[in-house]
Every structure is written in structure tokens, then in C-alpha cells.
Amino acid sequence: MYLWKYWRESRILFGVSLLAIALLMIAILREHPIIGPHANVQLSGVWTVFLGIQILPLCFVAWIFGSFGVGRDIGERSGSFIFSRLGNRAWFLWRDWGFGLSQILVIAIFLNLAGLVQMYRILVAMGDPYRNIVFSQNGAVSLTTFAGVACLAAFLLAALVFSLTYFSTILIKNARGVFVSAGVLLGYLVLGMVVRHHWPSVELPSLLLQPFENTRHMGDTIADHLGLAVTIRAAIVLLFPFAAQIVLKKIDI
Amino acid sequence: MSDLAIQTQSLHKHFRALHAPSLHALDGLDMHVPRGSIYGFLGRNGAGKTTTIRLLAGLAHPTSGRMQVLGLDPQTDRIPILERTGFVIDKMLLPSMNGNDLVRFNRGFFPRWSDALAAKYAEVLEIPMKQKFRRLSTGNQTKLCLLLALSQGAELLVLDEPTAGLDPVVTDQLLRVLVDDFANEGRTLFLSSHHLSEVERVADWVGIVDRGKLLLEESLDDVRAHFRRVRVVGENLPPASRGQIFKTKVGEGTTEYIVRTGTDGFTAELRSQGAIVLDVSPMNLSEIFLEVVGKGEANVPVEVLA
């Protein structure tokens, strides 16, 4: 029943997101690719653009989803009502977080499905005999693997934004935690730029998983380091609800 | 099984602030709420009433001291306590839900939840159940909070200022439901308030808290039967520190005693010492409250005098 509460709060944004993806899919299917047979297209470049385009709306959705849940309830003075229902504080927190993350995953999957369809249509238009193969900068992977990894990359970034925002709302006991998390993310990007400017040899870890690019130090991440990179990012994503649980346990409502 | 529904021992709650001295919201609160009683927890604004209730609900952590609700510790046994206790604290539910949604939401949490009771109270209290909570009047919001607490099948109801901001008609309606439907079935009702006349009307026990300390805790019958105001003229009168004398006020030519017990013996003693007892008058709860919190009528906020 508690999930129903989170669903009520998030369903409009969730529905609008899926509707937007549906419209995108329709647009993709109605469009005729302008690439002719045997065209020379950097497919990994297409995917990078696609990933770049999708992470903005996905992160925005994750940012808003992160503001739902018990942090906002406490800010709206509903905390004493929520936390005098049967269930310990962690029970409420993990349900909020798990359900929100599931919704983001669904949106990320559908968004990347749209991308996959577009990708496939481009390959067909090119008359590529290897329609299920995409060439990255350092090798070739199947289209489905390619799409799966792209989806994972986008989802992990959205999950990071969501978890950080959810944690922030609990930390400041208010939905305005969205601004704290935005500040932290922006701060990290600025820090990255400052570091790169003053110490060109130092590179801060990227917020976005980059499986199809050569990073300066890691080489072709899809071949060697993808598993490690995903594990580290997943661990960081999980860190925030655990931290939120500790904070929530200690605070007075 | 303990015959106390709620018990606190030396309960302290301090709030620390960066740029201000720490606030002692509770300063050694010792409280004993008998099972089956209607306990009026009285105090001025900021006396520590809401803090106490938040601690009892496990929403806040005590700085030190012990407490028990239905024989269980709110810090370690929150869930069993919440199964058997209805708390109404901030009177703020989920603003975007209407009454029916809130009933649906609440139902899943409580094993002893009764839809029949919810429907009954919605009708009796005339609550517009299809209106969103945020759009309800203060009175209807309070009624809805009460409906949810009553329908969860609790054996103890803890209400923080249940009648604050309500008109006399709604107040009367709520008090009737609380007393007739809940407390008369042998369950315990604990309500904090600074509306003394309402508490005097329904409560059978009172506790008066001020600055985080419980200054008086007695059955209301005992309070009414024993507290007396004694005005005396005389010399070499007894000191204020005697146990039975709650307070002594020395005026121009007369001395006024607030006597807690044994008024007859006390006045006889005064007379034997040559004093003239001008009058012995009973006190109502408002007068006792004013004397206990020690402020004098001129300094007490209007709502306390209401």
C-alpha cells in the first residue's frame, strides 16, 4: 500500500515520460533514414549523440523522482503521520528508493528501445550486410549488446542523480534537496574542469559510463574495464540510500 | 502486565543549536498514565507536551531517561506499540490524498483496521471524504486524523492538541466521539491541551507540565476534592515549605495558601495559632493550573485562560 503512495506522486511524470518516448518511437518509425546504401557513418558517434541526448531528460526525471518520498513528507509535516504507521524508517526508505529506481529503469529501457529501433533502421538503410553489428572505435560488438550497454550507462547516471537527490531530501528534511543534489553534480563538473585546466594529466572519473570511447587511461572500456566501472558506479549509487538510512535513523521527526 | 499505559522516568530531551544555548524541552519528566484513563496532559505553549508525545511515538530520541508505552520501549519496540496505539500529532496527513485515499492507504498498515468504523466516523463526523486533505477546513482535517486513529483498532490513543483551532461545535462533536466511543470501552485516551475547560470536561486524570517537568499529576477527582484556596489574617503563620501547602502568597494584611491536602486540619491548626481564616474556597482546574505553573493570571496567555 505504501508503494501506491509513491506511485500516486510519480505517476504523472512517469506517464508523461513514457508518452514522450512513444511519440519519439512514432517519429522514428515514420521517418525515412536519409543515409544511402554503403554510406560511411560513425555509428559509435551516432550512439554517443543519442546517449548524450537521452541523459538530459532521463536525469531530469531522475532528479524529480528523487524528490518524492519520505524526505518530502517530512518537509511537508507529514512525517509524523508516515512514521507512526507500522514499519520502521528503513522500510519506508527502501520502498521509495526501489520503486523510484524501477520506474527510472523502465523509462531508460523504453528510451533505449527507441534508440535501438532507430539504429537498426539506419543499418538497414545503409544496406549493411552485418545488420546486428556495430563498430566501436576499438572493435565491433553486436547491436543488442551495444544497446544494452548504452541503456546501462544512461540508467547508472540517472540512478546516481536519483539516489543523490533522494539522499539530499532526507538530509535537509525537505524536497528542496533537489537543489542540493543539483549543486553537488554541478560542483563536480566544475571541479573536473578546474582540475583539467590546472593539472592536465589528472582526470576525475566521469559521471557517465563511457563504454564506447577510449578514455585517456583506461583504453577500450567495453573490452577490459566495463564490469569494474559498472560495479563501482552501482556501489556509489547504493551508497546513498544506505547513507540516507543512517541519517533517517538518527534524525528527530 | 503493568497497570500503566504510559510511564516515563527522568525523561530528558535537549535540543542543541549552533548559535544558541541548548534547549531543555524535557527536564526529567516523570509521568504515569493509568490504563483505562482519560489523561489530560496540560501545559503552556512550549512546555514540552508535543516533545513528550513525539518521544512516545518513537519519532524523536530522548537525551536520557526511560519511557514505556503499554509496557514497551518506544525506542526498541516501535512496531508493537504502533500496532496498539493511535497517534495524532501534527494533524497533517498526505495533502494530495482525499479521505477515501487515506483510508485505503492506512488500511494496509494496521492488522486490526476496521472499514466499518471508518465509514461510521465519516458519517458521524460529517467528513467530506472525496475532498483532498489540503482543501479541507482545519476542523475537517482534524476529524479525518481522528477517524484514521479511531479506525485502526487501537487500545491507546495519543492526541496532541486535538481541539486546537476548532470551533465549539466541532470540539464538542470530537470530544463526544472520543469519550463515548473510545474511552468508555475501557481504552486509554491521552490528550495534550491547553484548553483547560475541555480537559476538565472529559479527563479523569491530569498531568501539568511546565518547562519540561511534570509539576502535578493526580486524578481530577482528587484535585477537585483536595485543592483549596485558604485566605488567612494573622501573625507567625506556617512557612510555605510545608508539604501540604502548594503555594503561599503574602498580600497586604492577608496571606493566601494553596493547600493540596488536609485543608481541615490545616485551618484548625491556623486557628489554634490565633489566625483568622477568612475563607476556604474550592478551585477549578484553570485556577489550579495557573497556580501550579506559577505565572499568575496576568502573565498567562489568553488560550490558557479560555
What nine digits make up the cell of A223? 573490452
- Please check whether residues B215 and B228 belong to one and the same domain: no
Nearest beta carbon to residue B90 from set A9, A81, A252: A81
* Helices A143-171 + A177-198 axis angle, to 10: 120
Q: Do B59 and A5 touch (CB under 8 A)?
A: no
More confident residue, A5 or B40: B40
- Please check whether residues B207 and B242 belong to one and the same domain: no
Amino acid at B86: G
Q: What is the DSSP letter of A220?
A: E
For residue A50, give Cα distances in angstroms to A133, A150, A210, B177, B207: 17, 9, 13, 62, 68
Residues of A in contact with B94 (CB under 8 A): 5, 73, 78, 81-82
Mean pLDDT within A208-221: 53
* Most confident residue range from A138-142, A246-250, B283-287: A246-250
Q: Do A80 and B105 touch (CB under 8 A)?
A: no
- Please check whether residues B133 and B44 belong to one and the same domain: yes
pLDDT at A44 over 60: no
Half-sphere exposure of A160 (CA within 13 A, CB side): 21
- Per domain, the residue ranges of chain A are 2-250
Q: Which residue of B has its CA nearest to A4?
A: B105
Amino acid at B235: E
Among B140, B129, B139, B125, which residue's Cα sits nearest to residue B99? B129
CA–CA separation, B152 and A102 (whole Å): 31
Residues belonging to chain B with any Cβ–Cβ distance to chain A shorter than 8 Å: 54, 57-61, 78-79, 82-83, 87, 89-90, 92-97, 101, 104-110, 145
More confident residue, A227 or B306: A227
- 3-class SS string, chain B: CCCEEEEEEEEEEEECCCCCCCEEEEEEEEEEEECCCEEEEECCCCCCHHHHHHHHCCCCCCCEEEEEECCECCCCCHHHHHHHEEEECCCCCCCCCEHHHHHHHHHCCCCCCCHHHHHHHHHHCCCCCCCEHHHCCHHHHHHHHHHHHHHCCCCEEEEECCCCCCCHHHHHHHHHHHHHHHHHHCCEEEEEECCHHHHHHHCCEEEEEECCEEEEEEEHHHHHHHCEEEEEECCCCCCCCCCCEEEEEECCCCEEEEECCCHHHHHHHHHHCCCEEEEEEECCHHHHHHHHHCCCHHHCCHHHHC
CB neighbour burial string for B42-57, b if at least 16 within 10 angstroms, e if fewer: bbbeebbbbbbbbbbb
Among all chains, which residue has been given the C-alpha cell 543512517? A246
Q: What is the CATH number of the domain that holds B41?
A: 3.40.50.300
Q: What is the DSSP letter of A171?
A: H
CA–CA separation, A139 and A119 (whole Å): 18
In chain A, DSSP assigns E strands to 133-136, 139-142, 214-215, 219-220
Nearest beta carbon to residue A81 from set B93, B96, B108: B93
Among A62, A68, A64, A96, which residue's Cα sits nearest to residue A208? A62
For residue B56, give Cα distances in angstroms to A38, A250, B27, B111, B125: 75, 16, 15, 21, 28
Bridge partners, B156 (sequence order)? B85, B188
CA–CA separation, B68 and B7 (whole Å): 5
Q: What is the pLDDT of residues A94-106, one digit of tens each?
A: 999 999 999 999 9
User: What is the per-residue pLDDT for B130?
Assistant: 94
Tell me the pLDDT of chain B (306 aa) as tens digits.
Answer: 578 999 999 999 998 877 777 888 899 999 999 999 999 999 988 899 999 999 999 999 999 999 999 999 999 999 999 999 999 998 888 888 999 999 999 998 998 999 999 999 999 888 999 999 999 998 899 999 999 999 998 999 999 988 887 888 888 888 888 888 888 888 999 999 888 888 888 999 999 999 999 998 999 998 888 888 888 887 777 665 566 777 788 877 788 888 888 888 888 888 888 888 888 888 888 888 888 887 654 444 444 433
User: How many structural domains are present in chain B?
Assistant: 2
- Please check whether residues B154 and B263 belong to one and the same domain: no
Q: Do A86 and B93 touch (CB under 8 A)?
A: no
Range of the domain at B171: 4-222
Q: Do A78 and B61 touch (CB under 8 A)?
A: no
Q: Which residue of B has its CA nearest to A9?
A: B96
Among B195, B190, B165, B164, which residue's Cα sits nearest to residue B178? B190
CA–CA separation, B68 and B74 (whole Å): 7
CA–CA separation, B161 and B190 (whole Å): 10
User: What is the per-residue pLDDT for B205?
Assistant: 94
ipTM: 0.85
Please classify residue A41 by burial: count the beta carbons closer than 10 Å to its beta carbon, then call 0-12 exposed, 13-18 middle and 19+ buried.
Answer: middle
Mean pLDDT within A196-210: 84
Q: What is the DSSP letter of A206?
A: P
- 3-class SS string, A119-144: HHHHHHHCCCCCCCEEEECCEEEEHH
Mean pLDDT within A63-85: 91
Identify whether the C-beta of residue B235 lies closer than 8 Å to the C-beta of residue B50.
no
Identify whether the C-beta of residue B120 lies closer than 8 Å to the C-beta of residue B160.
no
pLDDT at A179 over 90: yes
Q: Do B95 and A76 touch (CB under 8 A)?
A: yes
Best A4, A12, A84 residue to mutate vs chain B (most B CBs within 10 Å):
A84
Q: What is the CATH number of the domain that holds B283?
A: 3.30.70
**Average pLDDT of every residue of chain A:** 82
- Longest CA–CA separation in chain B, Å: 72
φ and ψ at residue B176, rounded to 5 degrees: -60, -45
- Please check whether residues B211 and B80 belong to one and the same domain: yes
What nine digits make up the cell of A95? 520502498
Residues of A in contact with B78 (CB under 8 A): 88
- Please check whether residues B175 and B141 belong to one and the same domain: yes
pTM of the model: 0.85
Identify whether the C-beta of residue B50 lies closer than 8 Å to the C-beta of residue B192.
yes
Residues with Cβ within 8 Å of A242's Cβ and at least 6 positions away in sequence, in order, are: none
User: What is the per-residue pLDDT for B18?
Assistant: 75
Cβ of A11 under 8 Å from any chain B Cβ? no
Q: What is the pLDDT of residues A104-121, one digit of tens each?
A: 999 999 988 888 887 777
Cβ of A88 under 8 Å from any chain B Cβ? yes
Neighbours of B120 (CB within 10 A): 16
* Most confident residue range from A23-37, A74-88, B17-31: A74-88
